[in-house]
Amino acid sequence: MRIVFFGTPGFAAKNLSFLHEKGINIISVVSAPDKPKGRGKKIISTDVKLKSNELNIEVKTPSSLKDENFITELRSLEADLFVVVAFRMLPKEVWTIPKMGTINLHTSLLPNYRGAAPINRVLINGERETGITTFFIDEKIDCGDIIQQEKVVLTKNTTAAQLHNILMNKGSKLLYSSIKNIENKTISPIIQNQDLAVKNASKLSKELTKIDWTKDSVEIHNLIRGLSPVLNKDKTLKDVAICPSSWFVLKNEEGKEMRVKLLLSRHSSETNVSGTLESDQKTYLKVNLNKGSIYIEKLQVAGKNAMNISQFLSGNKVNDKWTVS
């Protein structure tokens, strides 16, 4: 079976690499064009393009997916199946080309959490499970017939970075399984029940990332972990699109304000006077709220490196005159 793979970020690059290792016949790859990035505006290729070059697979980077020359090139490949992972919306002129259809990997249990940010939204909403879905692309976004799904159980402390990697690894295997089942004609696609599509995964906004300390402590904790780049004690996921981090303003007794990214928190049902800060000056910093409290465990002050709370407190003597907003 001849396959064309469409993708852009590291998540998709991992899937591409896995499929290649499994012997899937990927004859060409489509990714986004190179673009300037960072302060130096250095021209950077996508992770998928870099991985394709490493695997010696031809890469196409059209500026427009509706370009007639690009579509002609796609048709000339005579692919049996298109596979899409973390890519922009395909026009009908493209996804209707292969005779076996075009499939997509989505990081939620469809039909719930259709949209751009399912990894973040399930955590922000405090869901206890999510999953991964393969489905056939049709004219409506994330609404095509389901091929396969796999559930993933979430804890109260799962971060966006952790969930990203879990779904990336599980997604690679599910995608491989779906492709083989399509090839062997052993699939029975399931029509999505539109009545079950009660929650969406709308794109993240800058306004969302600002912590509102008047909200419920569980809601705040879910927002923090739903935007968190923390994978473990020593490692973070460097993908701002998936893990932009929540933030707040910390003001000391002299009125100096610090813009702080809150990378990792711990929730407690215990609290004290709402709006106050507590600290032993060494190991913990706690924000008391109306219902429960938030322990700040990892943070990053603007212009500085990320640090755990002990490192922060060694250089900042927080007292009850400090405030958060």
Query: What contacts 200, CB < 8 A, 6 or more positions away?
Result: 113, 114, 115, 121
Distance CA 161, CA 232 (A): 9
Number of other residues whose CB lies within 10 A of the CB of residue 278: 17
Could you say which residues of the chain have pLDDT below 50?
none
Domains in the chain (CATH in brackets) are 3-196 (3.40.50.170), 206-324 (3.10.25.10)
Q: What pLDDT does 168 receive? A: 98
Residues 50-92 pLDDT 10s: 999 999 999 999 999 999 999 999 999 999 999 999 999 999 9
φ/ψ of residue 231, rounded to 5: -95, -45
Q: What pLDDT does 196 receive? A: 87
pTM (2 d.p.): 0.96
Q: What pLDDT does 184 receive? A: 97
Q: What pLDDT does 99 receive? A: 96
Distance CA 261, CA 300 (A): 5
Query: What contacts 307, CB < 8 A, 6 or more positions away?
Result: 298, 299, 300
3-state helix, strand, coil in the chain (%, to 5): 25, 25, 45
